Amino acid sequence: MTYALISDIHGNMPALQAVLDDARGNNVQQFIFLGDYCLGLAYPNEVLDCIRSINSKYVISGNEEDAIAGLKNIDPSEWPTGQFETYSYYYNYLSNENRQFIFSLPHEIIIKTDNVPSLFAFHKPERYFFDSSPSAIDPQYFAASIDNKTFTVESFKNYSDKILEDDSLLIEQLNALEDGVYIFGHKHIQWSKKLGDKMLIAPGSCGLSLDFQQSAAYAILHWNSLSWECELRRVYYDVPTVYEGMTNSKCAKEHPVWFGVISRSMLTARVQTVPFHQFTEYYANSIGDSARPFTKDTWYASFAEWEKNHLPQKNINNFLR
């Protein structure tokens, strides 16, 4: 048994294709998809069409699929605008087949096979590991630690291993769980760790890596007749060329704020959503706007100001990480 573990594609079809090619080149025939497939970048329908076309797969819902599905029972006149307009946009942009596919997805899949430790696949680590280190290792933590020289990209594994091993709450949570492999996405940071008879795997983000490495991240999980083995993999794809191809897309033109923030995250391999939210909070307060979620006018005006703090597009390659 061999599975490819793929998460957080965020509408990045070129990255997904690169990962699928790499997985198939490594004789992987079964796939586990861990959520957040379509919001953010320019190819939401292509990504979902591709996933739906794969025969041997398990697919779960991410928080962004939940947000889209949550609109189906709300009158469109009451759908969010401004800060959360992206959900409405993608709901309408997706084909009916892809919307129905999203509506059908479970939040967790448990794969049980005789005499083999079970696999538990879900999107957010908080499902089982609330307030413990798997939930704390997130993109903002990673970026702040790099900035503070707490660890480097190369030394992250040793640092995270120690955090996980020394986390008494995590050990308590694991002791209450069935032995097996716990697989999750959401945080966009790639790592794995075996603790006793449990293995934790965060395969990272396929389409929006935020660990200072532009390459697409995923993992291969293999049963070797005695135990599960995990291989964390990175796959090159031409990020600047993909970005250039996306800038004239319908998605980029019709939801410029989130596309602008998410595409810059893709280019830098560093979280940009949190700094943008922080900037928008500052901007809204500076103009006396207390409305939350942010209104469309504030959301767009804040983005225009935020962009001024970044290098112009013609110099985009100069700040790629």
Phi-psi region of 228 (alpha: psi -120 to 50; beta: other; left: phi over 0): beta
CA distance 25 to 51: 18
DSSP track, 37-103? -SSSSS-HHHHHHHHHH-SSEEE---HHHHHHHTTTTS-GGGS--GGGHHHHHHHHHS-HHHHHHHH
195-208 confidence digits (pLDDT tens): 999 999 999 999 99
Question: Structure pTM?
Answer: 0.95
Q: What backbone torsions phi and psi does residue 223 show, to the nearest 5 degrees?
A: -95, 120
Q: What backbone torsions phi and psi does residue 21 show, to the nearest 5 degrees?
A: -60, -45
Burial of 122 (0-12, 13-18, 19+ CB in 10 A): buried
The pLDDT assigned to 310 comes to 65
In which residue ranges of the chain is pLDDT below 70?
310-321
Start-end ranges of CATH 3.60.21.10 in the chain?
A: 2-235
Picking from 172, 202, 206, the residue whose alpha carbon sits closest to that of residue 189 is: 202
Residue the block writes with tokens 């939940």: 66
2-235: CATH homologous superfamily?
Metallo-dependent phosphatases (3.60.21.10)
Query: If you ran DSSP here, which 8-state letter would residue 134 be given?
Result: H
81-126 confidence digits (pLDDT tens): 899 999 999 999 999 999 999 999 999 999 999 999 999 999 999 9
CA distance 76 to 33: 29
CA distance 8 to 39: 9
The pLDDT assigned to 318 comes to 39
